[in-house]
Amino acid sequence: MTRDRAHDVVVLGDANPDLVLRGDVVPRFGQAEQLVDAADLTLGGSGAIMAAGLARLGVDVAIVAAVGRDPFGDLVLGMLEEHGVATDLVVRRGDLGTGLSVVLSAGTRAILTHAGAIGSLTAADVPAEAVAAARHVHVASPYLVTRLRADLPTVLAGARSSSVDTNDDPARAWADLAALADAAGTLLPNDGEVVLWAQALGHRTDDWLDAAAYVASRGVEVVVKAGAEGGAHVTADGVVRQEPAPVTPVDTTGAGDTFDAAWVAARLAGEPPERALRWAVAAGTLSTQGVGGTAAQPDRDTLLRAVGVLP
């Protein structure tokens, strides 16, 4: 694949291996050795998982991310290509190692991340022609892609349509949030993040729907992932809710990124917001039935059956 080929979606963000450890274990310090039930090395990074979800749904997608020239970098590139994600825009660093996340999955999740090359991505690494040619540009984890974050409003100005999923800010400072929110066409937070966003933007609330409405009042659509409560599409004109199918999750790693992928795929397919929300909630729910972010991502037919379009 070459850098001059246009892609329907370009994802800007993080790509790294995830080491997912599962078991009913709370880590203890003091050289206490504890046993977990399972360990899996999977494709990780919000950007990479979202891109894999799009590819699984039949969307031509490329990722712009930075990895090292090391075995983990080779692993990430191989995993992306196996999932059908174009890697012609991936940058390899000789002076930095590939990032790595350790995910402790025990009903809830704790994530330890070594950023490595992730934060080295800059606006100079994002080809303007790829952004302009894409039907949609998605930004993942700008609070890990630290050197690119301040330039994202300028980058997104060249996009035909765009979305942003900030994920968490490890510093909880939410720098550049207002400019990023105003530059994006669609914001894709989870219910906890949107409360923190609203608070950072000056609105004191602990209610995620109230927080989403406040953020949407800036003139952007907000699509919220709410776990067991499903999701919501929030604009200045009102709220649409979607409940999930009842399931027992195996692992929730990457469920939000799969939700994002299905939302974008549905909108590119011409689906209205309420139907796109059904796709997104169903995809996120299905993805919890496997370990890691990509193992249970649905293909298009599986997703269409889940939302009742196919028998």
pLDDT at residue 1 greater than cutoff 80:
no
Section 220-229 average pLDDT: 96
% of the chain at pLDDT higher than 70:
99
% of the chain at pLDDT higher than 90:
89
- CATH at residue 114: 3.40.1190.20
Whether 306 maps to a domain, the answer reads: no
Q: How confident is the model at residue 310 (pLDDT cuts 50, 70, 90)?
A: confident
Whether 308 maps to a domain, the answer reads: no
pLDDT tens digits, one per residue of 6-34:
999 999 999 999 999 988 888 889 998 99
Whether 1 maps to a domain, the answer reads: no
pLDDT tens digits, one per residue of 56-107:
999 999 999 999 999 999 999 999 999 999 999 999 999 999 999 998 987 7
- Count other C-beta atoms under 10 Å from residue 309's C-beta: 14
Whether 302 maps to a domain, the answer reads: no
Predicted pLDDT of residue 105: 83
Among 34-38, 50-54, 158-162, 274-278, the range scoring the smallest mean pLDDT is 34-38
Whether 311 maps to a domain, the answer reads: no
Average pLDDT, the chain: 95
Predicted pLDDT of residue 157: 96
Whether 2 maps to a domain, the answer reads: no
Section 260-265 average pLDDT: 98
pLDDT tens digits, one per residue of 120-165:
999 999 999 999 999 999 999 999 999 999 999 999 999 999 999 9
What is the DSSP code string of the chain? Answer: --TTS--SEEEES--EEEEEEESS----SSS-----SEEEEEEESHHHHHHHHHHHTT--EEEE-EEESSHHHHHHHHHHHHTT-B-TT-EEESSSPPPEEEEEEESEEEEEEE-GGGGG--GGGS-HHHHHHSSEEEEE-TTTSHHHHTTHHHHHTT-SSEEEE----TTS--TTHHHHHHH-SEE--BHHHHHHHHHHTT-----HHHHHHHHHTTT-EEEEE-GGG-EEEEETTEEEEEPPPP---S--TTHHHHHHHHHHHHHHTT--HHHHHHHHHHHHHHHTTSSTTTTT---HHHHHHHTTS--
pLDDT at residue 188 greater than cutoff 60:
yes
CA distance 180 to 201: 12
The number of distinct structural domains making up the chain is 1
Whether 3 maps to a domain, the answer reads: no
Whether 51 maps to a domain, the answer reads: yes
pLDDT tens digits, one per residue of 163-186:
999 999 999 999 999 999 999 999
Count CA atoms closer than 13 A to 171's CA, side-chain side.
11
Which domain, by its residues, includes 14?
Answer: 9-296
pLDDT at residue 4 greater than cutoff 80:
no
pLDDT tens digits, one per residue of 240-253:
999 999 999 998 88
